[in-house]
A and B are shown apart, each in its own frame.
Chain A
Amino acid sequence: MTDFFAMHGYAAYVWPSYALFAVVLLADALAPVFARRRVMHDLARRVRRAASRKTP
């Protein structure tokens, strides 16, 4: 098992590569989730503001 993690001396190059792949794609997958939250929040605020303008 230690042999596996050591990658026969290439651990310092192999594991960062796989970690980078995971981190970048995870960030990419989360980006639309946060963007959607922001868009819906802005929209709800605009609708609320429009409604409060109509009823003085």
Chain B
Amino acid sequence: MNPLVLWFHKLGSPPYFYRFAGRWLPWLYALALIAGAAGFYGALFAAPADYQQGDSFRIMYVHVPCAWMGLFAYLFMAANGFVGLVWRIKLSETLAMASAPVGAAFTFITLVTGSLWGKPTWGTWWTWDARLTSELVLLFLYFGVIGLYHAIEDRRQAARAAAFLALVGIVNLPIVHYSVIWWNTLHQAQTVSLVGPSKIAPSMLWPLLTLAFATHVYFFASVLARSRVALLELESGKDWVRTLLPATETLHD
């Protein structure tokens, strides 16, 4: 077999994944921290104040990367949920369920920081603008997935039911993304584009991209850490988990 395919199959085995993730975790946390520090230096010191918004635009450096992560985490969760539903791969179910709380955290930050920016800029904490409303629906979808997962006793059945809900909720992603184009209400349209030039000065752009990178790395670190714990719980009857227990505890009385 192709070595890459072989590695992919091996990765699906919980003990192998547990060790693999454990090796990578410290490096991912360190990389996220360094990139995050560089990004925040750029966001707070290097970037000049906006000519219209003044210093309030610096909220954007927290708001936008988190908003991107809220969508990215949902896609990652739904993709893994799909693989888990179709091929019944335990690791995919675990990864999908591990990304839900992280995505919810990012979406929550997006909503609150958006509110903190909206007050001085728009003059209101909240309005039922299309982007704001669909982002709130995204947070509720995360809550739905997390709630459903914890409402069902059997862990694997719970993961499959929650993965199905995550797949249905995917319909909200294009609505969040295109809401600023489809409905011309209050939230501004996108400034940074993957295709074509971004409408932002380079000195303002690089901190944003650095923070976007940092939050992506952090997301994977958090998902790996959560998945490791979930696998320990899921496989607690297996020998490989038993060997992880400290010897003194197993020999106790």
Contacts and interface: CB of A to CB of B under 8 A. Distances in A.
A and B found bound together: yes
Interface of A: 4, 7-10, 13-14, 16-18, 20-21, 24-25, 27-29, 31-33, 35-36, 39-40, 42-44, 46-48, 51-52
A52 B251 CA distance: 10
Interface string B217-253: 0100110011011001100100001101110011011
B164 interface: no
Contacts of A25: 105, 109, 218
B56 A48 contact: no
A7 B87 CA distance: 52
A18 B49 contact: no
Nearest to B223: A32
A43 B62 CA distance: 39
A41 to B, nearest CB: 9
A52 B109 contact: no
A47 B245 contact: yes
A45 B207 CA distance: 48
A8 B113 contact: no
A43 B55 CA distance: 51
B54 A43 contact: no
A39 B236 CA distance: 9
Contact of B245 (A4, A14, A35, A44): A44
Contacts of B29: 29
Given A43-B236, A47-B249, A24 B116 contact: no
B150 interface: no
Interface of B: 29, 40, 44, 49, 54-56, 58-59, 62-63, 66, 101-102, 105, 108-109, 112-113, 116-117, 119-120, 218, 221-222, 225-226, 228-229, 232-233, 236, 241-242, 244-246, 249-250, 252-253
Closest A-B pairs by Cβ, 3 of them: A32-B225, A7-B55, A10-B56
Given A21-B113, A36-B232, 20 more contacts: A13-B56, A14-B58, A16-B116, A17-B63, A17-B112, A20-B62, A20-B109, A21-B62, A24-B109, A25-B105, A28-B101, A29-B29, A31-B101, A32-B222, A32-B226, A32-B228, A44-B252, A47-B245, A48-B252, A52-B253
A44 B55 contact: no
Contacts of B117: 13, 17
A37 B229 CA distance: 9
B125 to A, nearest CB: 11
